Structure 1
């Protein structure tokens, strides 16, 4: 929520799992958030990044690697082989 001065005042901002689109609960201690740095055509880091989050259920079932690759291909971060 934003206050009158347009500052963020929420103490907890829930995240969504990139693979399942479900909310990641506050007590899901096996969840991860990964910031992927973006590069330009010459391979130099641009200072920007995309955030990817996976819930513990995806990680426990050993599906996070596949989900990350699928996300990277769909968003143009990686080429499909």
Structure 2
């Protein structure tokens, strides 16, 4: 087995691995949006409304801040 053949196999498996990671990420996004954990359409508006004075995409509630501090 020469070096070029090893590179070809490595390239193939790397492309397959990255494809699986991409599809896994897409499934993760789809499931979290279906469960209501995040609304990713709101994040798409960041590109359209990017002024310094524009309102934030998500408001952090005071109880969420307290929970985040407890977890750390």
- TM-score bracket, shorter-length normalisation: under 0.3
- TM-score, normalization by structure 1: 0.23
- TM-score, normalization by structure 2: 0.24
Which structure is higher in strand share?
A: 1
Which structure is higher in helix share?
A: 2
Indicate the structure (1 or 2) with the bigger Cα radius of gyration.
Answer: 2
